[in-house]
């Protein structure tokens, strides 16, 4: 059962237990709303840990999530200028509201595509996230790897995944995603230690089984803290 709440002036969709063991936060494009319930169900099937999943409905996926401009992703003038606003909302409105309702629980931030990139970027901006679930993150955005090499995530664990067909595309900018994600994983192994990160190769292209990839990402992150 998905509930719709307005928190801090934004629409959020909430799924989960009345007594969760952790809070999952996910920025969500409108097209993901149709699969949200399936995603939450799959998470519940993958882990015994009760949880609450809170998704934030965004007005414009690229404007709200890109950490900086990149014309290969979007030529919209405002793209890359409002990621900090979205993070501010998560830190100052959404998380405080959820912790007031459910208690001081660990928070896992996750997302798909630009949502995964946003989660990785947010992890070096704030220590509010216990783990990061980045499924098929858009790490091919220009200058990401130099940025990641200079900034260590403040999360305890990071999950990365990518479809095995995603780097085999004609668009040369997007085709960099495989090499960029391998570099990101190598950096995380150095920054956090190999036991605190993983890179999973999924089947298919970027548009295959998005909700399943996210469910597995969140479940892995939750498993890191089971019994602790």
Residue 140 has pLDDT above 80, yes or no: yes
Residue 227 has pLDDT above 60, yes or no: no
Mean pLDDT of the chain: 92
Residue 33 has pLDDT above 90, yes or no: no
- The confidence score (pLDDT) of residue 74 equals 82
Q: How many angstroms separate the CA atoms of 12 and 4, rounded?
A: 6
Complete DSSP assignment for 153-184: --SSEEEEEEETTTT-SS-HHHHTHHHHHHHH
> Residues with Cβ < 8 Å from 62, sequence gap 6 or more?
73, 74, 76, 79, 114
Strand partners, 112: 135
Selected residue with higher pLDDT from 60 and 30 = 60
Residue 132 and residue 192 in contact, taking contact as beta carbons nearer than 8 Å? no
Nearest to 147 by CA among 72, 75, 68, 84: 68
Mean pLDDT of 129-155: 97
Q: How confident is the model at residue 226 (pLDDT cuts 50, 70, 90)?
A: low
- The confidence score (pLDDT) of residue 115 equals 95
Burial class of 6 by CB neighbour count within 10 A (0 to 12, 13 to 18, 19+): exposed
Q: How many CB atoms lie within 10 A of CB 128?
A: 17
As a whole-number percent, the residues of the chain with pLDDT over 90 amount to: 72
Residue 5 and residue 12 in contact, taking contact as beta carbons nearer than 8 Å? yes
- The confidence score (pLDDT) of residue 29 equals 74
- Sign of dihedral through CA atoms 163, 80, 197, 44? negative
Q: How many angstroms separate the CA atoms of 160 and 158, rounded?
A: 7
Nearest to 46 by CA among 228, 213, 227: 213
- The confidence score (pLDDT) of residue 228 equals 55
Mean pLDDT of 60-78: 88
- CA separation (Å) from 167 to 62, 133, 178, 180? 21, 20, 5, 10
Q: How confident is the model at residue 171 (pLDDT cuts 50, 70, 90)?
A: confident
Q: Domains plus CATH for the chain? A: 3-223 (3.40.50.1820)
């Amino acid at each position: 059962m998905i509930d719709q709440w307005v928190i801090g002036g934004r629409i959020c969709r909430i799924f989960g237990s009345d007594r969760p063991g952790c809070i999952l936060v996910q920025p969500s494009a409108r097209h993901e709303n149709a699969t949200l319930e399936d995603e939450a169900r799959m998470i519940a099937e993958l882990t015994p840990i009760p949880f609450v999943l809170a998704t934030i409905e965004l007005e414009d996926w690229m404007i709200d999530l890109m950490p900086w401009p990149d014309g290969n992703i979007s030529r919209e003038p405002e793209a890359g200028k409002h990621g900090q606003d979205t993070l501010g909302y998560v830190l100052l409105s959404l998380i405080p509201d959820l912790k007031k309702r459910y208690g001081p629980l660990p928070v896992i931030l996750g997302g798909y595509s630009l949502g995964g990139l946003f989660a990785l970027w947010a992890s070096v901006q704030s220590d509010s996230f216990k783990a990061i679930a980045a499924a098929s993150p858009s790490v091919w955005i220009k200058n990401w790897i130099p940025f990641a090499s200079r900034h260590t995530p403040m999360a305890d664990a990071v999950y990365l995944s990518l479809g095995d067909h995603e780097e085999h595309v004609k668009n040369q900018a997007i085709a960099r995603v495989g090499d960029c994600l391998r570099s990101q994983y190598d950096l995380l192994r150095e920054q956090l230690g190999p036991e605190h990160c993983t890179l999973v190769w999924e089947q298919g292209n970027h548009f295959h089984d998005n909700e399943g990839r996210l469910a597995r990402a969140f479940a892995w992150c939750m498993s890191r803290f089971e019994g602790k």
